[in-house]
Amino acid sequence: MSLIAHLTELRNRVGRALLFVMVGAAVSFWWYDHGLGEFIRAPYCGLPDELRYGGETGDCGLLITDVFGGALIRLKISFIVGVVISAPLWLFQVWRFLTPGLKRNEKRYGVAFVGASSALFALGALLAYLSLSAGLRLLLGLAGEGTIVALTAQDYIGFVLSLLVAFGVSFELPLVAVVLNLLGVLSHAALAGARRWIYFLTVLFAAFVTPTQDPFTMLAMATPMIILFELAIQLARIVDRRRARKAALDSFHALDDDEASPLDVAPSRLDESPDTPGEDERVLSTRSGR
């Protein structure tokens, strides 16, 4: 394709991706009054009464301090949720733009890539949502007695969304390692050799990314990420072994019909027990009369 054709393709793919995001945002805007807003407020409403402003009366409300606060919050939530629910569609557009530069066997990973990335993001967001209540209870409880905690809607919604997005994006990192291995950029040997550094940087990354800054939320992010990274390393091992076997078989196709195939002259290990003498030892003992 020419440069103009590439730019045209990029424009069409970006336009379709934005259209999918807009449709998802419109659905989320309608969904806000039909359970989405209550779903977001649920971790805060589940806190003890003394940690919520007006909790003694059984109310569960968030403060809005400006006229446009409610509209901006709803638009922000609608856009972010729209990006999330439309992720399989716009990620597929990204993949379709990249596939012309890939080999035929690499294109088959497209559906698996989109499905795995969506599932990992959803898993990370779900784990963040489940740990949100414990994090809020710990942080708000540190204020001590004699204080009244009154959260504004902007602060609380921003905190919840940042936590969900941080967990969701973080769970995509092991998938990036798998994709780089499938493309031949990152080998299993490199991943296995850097395993300790990967685990250390994962814990450090979780400590900086989590908005709550408490050890419970940090471990809730770091532990599944370490498990996913280990699965990525083992998957890279399988992929590299299959790639090596295929390369060994393909090397014979380049030989002429009258050319001898290369032989592996490396000595093989004998399956013998340490107490059983080898063939050479038996021959020497026979010749020496032992």
pLDDT > 90 fraction of the chain, expressed in percent and rounded: 3
What would the mean pLDDT of 204-220 be, rounded to a whole number? 74
Across the range 252-259, mean pLDDT stands at: 62
> Which pLDDT belongs to residue 55?
58
- The phi, psi pair for 65, rounded to 5°, reads -105, 0
The stretches of 171-290 forming alpha helices (DSSP H) are 173-182, 188-193, 195-209, 215-250, 279-287
Res. 227: pLDDT tops 50: yes
- How confident is the model at residue 58, as a pLDDT? 59
More confident residue, 139 or 55: 139
Average pLDDT in the 170-199 region?
83
Q: Is the pLDDT of residue 230 over 50?
A: yes
**Residue range 36-44: mean pLDDT, rounded:** 83
Q: Which residue has the higher pLDDT, 17 or 100?
A: 17
Radius of gyration of the chain (CA): 29
Return the SS3 of 152.
strand
Is 50 exceeded by the pLDDT of residue 73? Answer: yes
- Largest Cα separation within the chain, whole Å, is 106
On the question of pLDDT at 290 being above 50, the answer is no
- What does the alpha-carbon distance between residue 51 and residue 45 come to, in Å, rounded to a whole number? 10
pLDDT of residue 19: 93
pLDDT, averaged across the chain: 77
Q: Is the pLDDT of residue 179 over 90?
A: no
> Which pLDDT does position 255 carry in this prediction?
60
pLDDT at position 289 is 45
Residues in CB range of 52: below 8 A, 6 or more apart? 44, 45, 60, 149
Burial bucket for residue 252 (CB in 10 Å: 0-12, 13-18, 19+): exposed
Residue 249: strand, helix, or coil: helix
Distance CA 148, CA 145 (A): 8
Residue of 163, 174, 179, 216 whose CA lies nearest to 199: 174
Give residue-wise pLDDT tens across range 76-131. 888 888 888 887 788 788 877 877 766 666 667 667 777 788 788 888 888 888 88
Query: How large is the average pLDDT for residues 254-268?
Result: 62
Residue 270 near residue 278 (C-beta atoms within 8 A): yes
Tell whether the model's pLDDT for residue 23 goes beyond 90.
Answer: yes
pLDDT, average across residues 252-266: 61
- Looking at per-residue pLDDT, the higher value among 50 and 54 belongs to 50
Residue 3 or 148, more confident: 3
Among 152-156, 182-186, 240-244, 252-256, which is the least confidently predicted range?
252-256
pLDDT of residue 285: 47
pLDDT at 286 > cutoff 70: no
In the 8-state DSSP scheme, what is residue 150? -
Residue closest to 83 by CA, chosen among 22, 166, 173: 22
